[in-house]
Amino acid sequence: MVSIDEFGNNTMSSRPLRIAVWYNLPSGGAKRALYNHMAGLKKRGHSIEVFRPPVDDEQFMPTSQVSDREHVFPWDKWQRTSWFYPRKIQLSCGEVFRFLQSADVHARLAASAIEQGEFDVLYSHNCMYMASPHVGRYVSIPKVLYLPEPNRPLYEPLPRLLWIADEAEKASAPMRARRRLRHWIDARSAAIRAREELINAKAFDRILVNSFFSREAVLRAYGVNSKVCYLGIDAGMFKNLGLPRERFVMGVGTLGPTKNVLLAVEAVGRVPAEIRPELVWVANMTDPPYRDRCVDRASELGVKFTHRSMVSDEELLSLLNRASMMVYAPRLEPFGLAPLEANMCGLPVVAVAEGGVRETVVDGVNGLLADHDAALFGAAIARLLRDEPLRAKLGDQALERARTTWAQEPSIDRVEAELYDVAGLKP
């Protein structure tokens, strides 16, 4: 809508935005963050339509509840599960090309529908298969990508860097022709995927990230600038119920290598037996072989390890309000939403001092930070178990900090301002 200012210049007047949203996310923190963004924007009067593929768990935070309309476009499912789990990231060149073709077909269908919708802006979230999605290539309207992290397996040696051969493997036996060919295929496949993701990332007008650590990761991976747009916590969902605290510690997140559950098991195993707590792990997704390793290691260490899958919001809230503390030990986590959700329930966190976690957990304020070492991590857990006044103090401070620093409404303000700015409109 055009108006004339006092100097006779054309200006864009404030009005609600027509927002197209694209995402491809499983259940978990990223989906919850998107849902909260959409709910906040919808409440403020903006029009929202969703364009997406069929997702793995449509019952978790269904975006149909916070949008005006949803459009679902097919995506070839041949590679869905193996693309997601880190243990299956090694794909042949042929598999990569087939996957990219299916991603491209879906993106063109979604983009064509978006182009016909007279939207002000595309608000795309990341893709669980390849981080930066294809859809930005084919949309001409202003477009914003919320990118929690690049496709980390392509850039980090966790478990190993795809670009280089494994030195331990070479040392154990000479690399035969077949092994050299396998490594070459791995490296070429990774290069193809990295190139496509870079093209996708550069297609967006603005990339928003969840932490300063993520901004640096995006710069290292893609060579592009991004803006930090911190998330907020839904105080309606996560709240302090004042329940008695019990002798168990809990973790939240995928029961797989990315969340480093084994370190949590090892750390609890270092806590003296007379005060050793139960470790309860809540996960929407599970890597079965990794879960079995955790169970076996817990048994060896005398740790009671309980895995709860796909719990309801009510059960999760109850656990967060009854646990003694949260343990959080992922490698190079880009942000760490779970610790802040725990804080909103008055629960302190013992967390690894890495990545974006250092921006959400302040040592001695809302929890304790520890190096990536089972003995040191276990010592921090034992310290809080033994010192109930300290634990209560950190819990109170955590709740106050979550309510002030990480409130939901300011996070909606930030997203809304970015969308208005990219769309060329005034909020």
**Residue ranges of the domains in the chain?**
2-232+408-423, 248-405
Q: Is 318 helix (H, G, I), strand (E, B) or coil?
A: helix
Mean per-residue pLDDT for 61-70? 96
Is the confidence at residue 327, as pLDDT, over 60?
yes
Q: Any idea which of 156-160, 230-234, 362-366 has the lowest mean pLDDT?
A: 156-160
Confidence of residue 10 (pLDDT cuts 50, 70, 90): very low
Whole-model pTM: value is: 0.89
Question: For residue 184, is pLDDT > 90?
Answer: no
Please tell me the CATH superfamily of domain 2-232+408-423, with its number.
Answer: Glycogen Phosphorylase B; (3.40.50.2000)
Q: Of 401, 385, 391, 394, whose CA–CA distance to 340 is shortest?
A: 401
Q: How many other CB atoms are there within 10 angstroms of residue 223's CB atom?
A: 10
Write down the pLDDT at residue 6: 45
List phi, psi (to 5°) of 249: -110, 155
Place of tokens 């930066």: 132
**What per-residue confidence (pLDDT) applies to 84?**
37
Long-range pairs for 311-314: beta carbons < 8 A, 24 or more residues apart? 311/282, 313/237
CA dihedral 255, 257, 261, 264 (to 10 degrees): -170
Q: How far apart are CA 347 and CA 366, in angstroms?
A: 8
Question: Domain 248-405 is of which CATH architecture?
Answer: 3-Layer(aba) Sandwich (3.40)
User: pLDDT tens digit string along 105-123?
Assistant: 999 999 999 999 999 999 9
Question: Does residue 214 or residue 192 have the better pLDDT?
Answer: 214
Task: Name the amino acid, one letter, at 271.
Answer: V
- Residue 41: pLDDT band (50, 70, 90) is very high
Residue 85: pLDDT band with limits 50, 70, 90: very low
CA distance 426 to 15: 8
| Two domains, one topology: 2-232+408-423 and 248-405 | yes
* 8 A C-beta contact, residue 27 and residue 60: yes
CA-wise closest residue to 328 among 358, 351, 359: 351
